[in-house]
Amino acid sequence: MQMSVKHCGEMRDTPFCPQCGSELTKLSPVVTLLKHLKVSRDSSASVLKKLQDRLVERGIETDKIAKKLSARQRVVDKWQGWIDAVVELQRLSEQSEIAAH
């Protein structure tokens, strides 16, 4: 889901306003926060995938490794939970802006 900010009288979901050229991420810290959360989630998911692939190739499966994989999955899930919360806050904020007009 793209984050939107109100700029030049319209909701924008691009990094720059097509009307005036302003950088919109400076106007909305929520947008930059969401980008950071997604990069962190994707990085953690990539580490998890690589670890899983290596273990499958080697045919290794132990309780210690299972715990490590489970811990890494919890990290990915934590980042996703934060992303979902920020998206929901943004959605509620947009709804309240619309209702105020």
- CA 95 – CA 4 distance, rounded (Å): 12
CB proximity list for 52: less than 8 A, separation 6 or greater:
69
Give, for all 101 residues of the chain, the pLDDT tens digit: 456 778 898 888 887 888 998 877 665 678 788 889 999 999 999 999 998 888 878 877 777 888 889 999 999 999 999 999 999 988 888 888 777 76
**Which one, of 40, 52, 47, lies nearest residue 82 by Cα?**
40
- Cα separations in angstroms, 3 against 21, 57, 67, 72: 18, 39, 35, 27
Tell me the three state secondary structure of residue 40.
helix
Which pLDDT score, from 0 to 100, does residue 1 have? 41
The mean pLDDT value of the chain amounts to 85
Which pLDDT score, from 0 to 100, does residue 50 have? 92
